[in-house]
Amino acid sequence: MTSPVVKVPGRAWIVTFAGTAINLCLGILYAWSVWKAALMPPKGNAAGDLMTGINQGWVYLSDAQATWAYAICGFMFALFMIPGGRIQDKYGPKVGATLGGLCLALGCIVAGLMKSYTGLIVGFGILGGMGMGIGYAAPTPAAVKWFGPHKRGLIVGLVVGGYGGAAIYIAPVAKWLIADYGISGSFIGLGIAFAVVVIIAGQLLSWPPAGYVPPGLPVSKTAANAPSLSTVDWSASQMVKTAQFYALVFLFFGSAQSGLLVIANATPMLNKTAATLAFFAANAWLLASYGGLINASGRIGTGMYSDKIGRANAYFINCIISAVCLLLTPLVMKSGSVFLLFLAVGIAYWQYGGGLALMPAFTADFFGPKNLGFNYGLVFIGWGLGFFVPQAAGYIKDYTGSLDAAFYLSGALLIAAVVVSKILKRPVMAKEEAKALRPAI
């Protein structure tokens, strides 16, 4: 067996930051609230009315309709993480990144050219979601293979941080493109640009050479600081037979649905809370960009401290604080306080981003890194299921005129996930248990 290298090679960091660049493009989903605001009718118009001017050919949508493409995109994203993970494990990350970039571009172009609700569903929702899932499955497992378990949270945080941080720049760029080139121009322009970046960065992804063993935990660190890790690599068929797999799916669902609810409604939330403040009324995209910054920071920050205090403890801290904020969000919006809204939304984004750093690390800790692409693709189903909550929120808003009940529902689901996280233990395979009991010779 090859001895561990003393220092992580430079190639490992190239793979890591290429993965970050890919996710900075695939993260167009997190700026959806900007398009949602453009698709919903302003005062004096109603859903179904024809748009005029630069957006001629489009019609205004209801809240629920304007959320469907976002929800379907998320569900398809999660669904295609499974074949995307299989592609990554079998053919390597370059193939997945290239396919993902091409599919995302095609979806955005279709949405822009069709200028319809159907076009949004087929283009952005189905094709875009497929591209995101296949592309997103490529960089994280590739990067994780280059680093030891004690760096797993940090590396995952850096790679997926790109996806969370995408809204920082996509939100204002999309706002500008919609204003100057229309909804169609924004989809087509961004789709083509992102495909180019994803395909080029994808060629920089690679696995370590055969026999590569990453640097281990420094000797000065005690075993107590290390997370509980699987000493065997579970196959997907073995993993799905454990209760822990379904618990991880539920943890992902709980963490994701709360953040996705806020992401889908960030711009409208600021529009409502700051309706009397001219600056924020004209620049409601700021909340989406701010959220992107916190989302990315939450992934890196949570990944770092989860390496120190454990995945379950990090999940508990993030989620219990976020649940309280969700339950208080209706009061915050009624208060008209922009500061409190940014604080509550920031905590929701941090928790959500942190969950996306924790769950691949959780999966690798529980079931080993070898089959992480496919195994994490299955766990990622929980993220896709999380989109049903913002979709339900759209119907709640259309029916009641308010999102209050949706925030209460989301907070309750997050608390349930916190309870599960406190009783969750790593599964132990029979041969691993037998090895642990075997007397030393």
Per DSSP, what are the bridge partners of residue 56?
58
State residue 126's pLDDT score. 96
Helix/strand/coil (H, E, C) string of the chain?
CCCCCCCCCHHHHHHHHHHHHHHHHHHHHHHHHHHHHHHCCCCCCCCCCECCHHHECEECCCHHHHHHHHHHHHHHHHHHHHHHHHHHHHHCHHHHHHHHHHHHHHHHHHHHHHCCHHHHHHHHHHHHHHHHHHHHCCHHHHHHCCCCHHHHHHHHHHHHHHHHHHHHHHHHHHHHHHHHHHHHHHHHHHHHHHHHHHHHHHCCCCCCCCCCCCCCCCCCCCHHHCCCCCCCCCCHHHHCCCHHHHHHHHHHHHHHHHHHHHHHHHHHHHHHHCCCCHHHHHCCHHHHHHHHHHHHHHHHHHHHHHHHHCHHHHHHHHHHHHHHHHHHHHHHHHHCCHHHHHHHHHHHHHHHHHHHHHHHHHHHHHHCCCCHHHHHHHHCHHHHHCCHHHHHHHHHHHHHCCCHHHHHHHHHHHHHHHHHHHHCCCCCCHHHHHHHHCCCC
- pLDDT tens across 294-309, in order? 888 888 888 888 888 8
State residue 335's pLDDT score. 86
Query: Cα–Cα–Cα angle for 313, 140, 109, nearest 5°?
Result: 120
pLDDT at 220 over 70: no
State residue 338's pLDDT score. 83
Q: In 3-state terms, what secondary structure has residue 219?
A: coil
Q: pLDDT over 70 for what percent of the chain? A: 89
State residue 228's pLDDT score. 60
Burial of residue 90 (number of CB atoms within 10 Å: 0-12, 13-18, 19+):
exposed
State residue 147's pLDDT score. 85
- pLDDT tens across 100-112, in order? 988 998 999 999 9
Reported confidence tier of residue 426, pLDDT bands at 50, 70, 90: confident
- H-assigned helices in 92-128: 93-114, 117-119
Q: How far apart are CA 14 and CA 10, in angstroms?
A: 7
Assess contact for 74 and 110: CB atoms under 8 A: no
Reported confidence tier of residue 27, pLDDT bands at 50, 70, 90: confident
Q: pLDDT over 90 for what percent of the chain? A: 38
- pLDDT tens across 32-67, in order? 888 988 999 988 899 999 999 999 999 999 988 888
Q: How far apart are CA 386 and CA 398, in angstroms?
A: 20
Q: Which of the given ranges, 106-110, 234-238, 285-289, has the highest pLDDT on average?
A: 106-110
Dihedral angle of Cα 29, 23, 378, 428, to the nearest 10 degrees: -140
Query: Cα–Cα–Cα angle for 170, 171, 174, nearest 5°?
Result: 75
- pLDDT tens across 127-164, in order? 999 999 999 888 888 888 888 777 777 888 888 888 77
State residue 160's pLDDT score. 80
State residue 37's pLDDT score. 86
Assess contact for 111 and 56: CB atoms under 8 A: no
State residue 431's pLDDT score. 66
Assess contact for 88 and 96: CB atoms under 8 A: yes
Its pTM stands at 0.74
